[in-house]
Amino acid sequence: MGKELTESKIMQALDWSYDKAINGVPGFDSAIEMAEDYMKSGDSPYNQANSLIRWQNTKAGTSGFVSGLGGILTMPVAIPANISSVMYVQIRMIAAIAYMGGHDLYDDRVKSLVYACLTGNAAKDILKDIGVVVGSKLTTSAIKGISGKTLTAINQKVGFRLLTKFGEKGVINLGKAVPLVGGFIGATFDTVATNTIGNIARDTFLVEEKLIA
């Protein structure tokens, strides 16, 4: 699989997943619809995001959910079904959290920040390199100040990180095993990653709520 996957294919898969996450696919709420459902609770956006992350971990942690998605999500690039499904689920979660923070999901700058969050703990280094510190105030105006050149840099770093992540032997094995017999093993792995990614997204897009919650 290492020969098949390239940074270019990773970015194509991300763009495709992002489009489906914010515009919706048959049988699944879009990121905006999902966010608005949680926003009805009247709780703080930070707590709403925590509820969303908890639900996402439970849902994404079932092999049936992941393999079921694999049948719906037919990517235009050669990415294993497990990886493409988890990528979609995680991007939708991050985008929903960004929406809760009042950010425009159709803004390319927000999209790149969503991609950065997908790298989990590595997002802190990627964003720090361009002057964005996870856990500090990330306002709409600050996002608008991100240049096109910086977006390109973010996307390149994200592509490299994800290519490295998906190229690891363990992930390749999980990609092959989940639809067959390794569902529970794969689900545990993905749940841990999804939780980390959700927390990074929350602390990137909703940090002000954390300070007052």
What pLDDT digit, counting tens, does each position of 92-114 carry? 999 999 999 999 999 999 999 99
The type of residue at 102 is: G
The series of mean pLDDT values per 10 residues for the chain, 213 residues long, is: 65 89 87 94 89 84 60 63 77 95 93 93 85 70 84 90 69 40 49 87 74 41
User: Could you tell me the pTM of the whole model?
Assistant: 0.82
pLDDT at site 212: 42
d(CA 129, CA 123): 10
- Portion of the chain with pLDDT greater than 90, in percent: 30
- pLDDT at residue 42 in the model: 82
Please give the backbone phi and psi of residue 77, each rounded to the nearest 5 degrees, phi first: -125, 160
